[in-house]
């Protein structure tokens, strides 16, 4: 009886880790930096998690979890409510529709795919935020955030792959 309960808890804990890690990345990305000039160019960590888990374990990061992570991102960083939720869902759906293509591909293909998806996601965020405020927001900040996000992607992906291979076996 006890071992059955422990097995269920273990299964639940392992299965919920992609969601929990994505939420932790939302929180980590929202932690204020002490450098005001760099606050707008922090990497978009949850976007990387949504992309990664949608390719490798979409069963463990469903659309409702992606939507929740996006709403939490909006609430913590102060963007108009729903922008990140909509963008993260768009990324989730786009990557899910191409999951067969990404499966078994080299890291270079995964990274190029992320570069394309992130460019579209950040452009979509820029348009939505500009429409919300009825004026064009800083495009240079978005461009730098995109580049920083691309630069951090290999490290974060490597960590998530390690987690996936050791914990979610």
3-state SS, 29-55, equals HHCCCCCHHHHHHCCCHHHHHHHHHHH
Instruction: Report the chain's C-alpha Rg in angstroms.
Output: 17
47-91 pLDDT, tens digit per residue, is: 999 999 999 999 999 999 999 999 999 999 999 999 999 999 999
Which tokens is 68 given?
A: 């929740």
Per the structure, how many domains does the chain have?
1
Which tokens is 27 given?
A: 């929180």
Structural domain contains residue 120:
yes
Task: Residue 88: name the closest of 72, 116, 69, 61 by CA.
Answer: 69
The pLDDT assigned to 63 comes to 97
Break the chain down into helix, strand, coil percent, rounded to 5.
80, 0, 20
Structural domain contains residue 134:
yes
pTM of the model: 0.91
Q: Over 60: is that where the pLDDT of 8 sits?
A: yes
CB atoms within 10 A of CB 120: 14
Structural domain contains residue 35:
no
Could you give the CA distance from residue 151 to residue 147 in angstroms, rounded to a whole number? 6
Give the domain extent around 26: 2-30+41-166
């Amino acid at each position: 009886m006890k071992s059955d309960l422990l097995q269920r808890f273990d299964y639940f804990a392992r299965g919920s880790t992609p969601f929990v890690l994505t939420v932790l990345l939302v929180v980590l990305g929202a932690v204020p930096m002490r450098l005001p000039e760099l606050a707008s160019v922090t990497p978009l960590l949850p976007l990387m998690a949504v992309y990664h888990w949608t390719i490798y374990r979409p069963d463990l990061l469903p659309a409702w979890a992606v939507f929740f992570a996006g709403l939490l991102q909006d609430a913590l960083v102060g963007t108009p409510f729903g922008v990140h939720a909509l963008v993260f869902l768009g990324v989730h759906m786009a990557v899910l529709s191409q999951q067969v293509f990404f499966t078994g591909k080299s890291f270079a293909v995964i990274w190029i795919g992320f570069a394309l998806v992130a460019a579209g996601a950040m452009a979509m965020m820029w348009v939505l935020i500009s429409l919300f405020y009825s004026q064009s927001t800083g495009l240079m900040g978005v461009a730098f955030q995109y580049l920083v996000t691309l630069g951090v992607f290999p490290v974060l992906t490597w960590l998530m792959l390690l987690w996936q291979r050791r914990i979610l076996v």
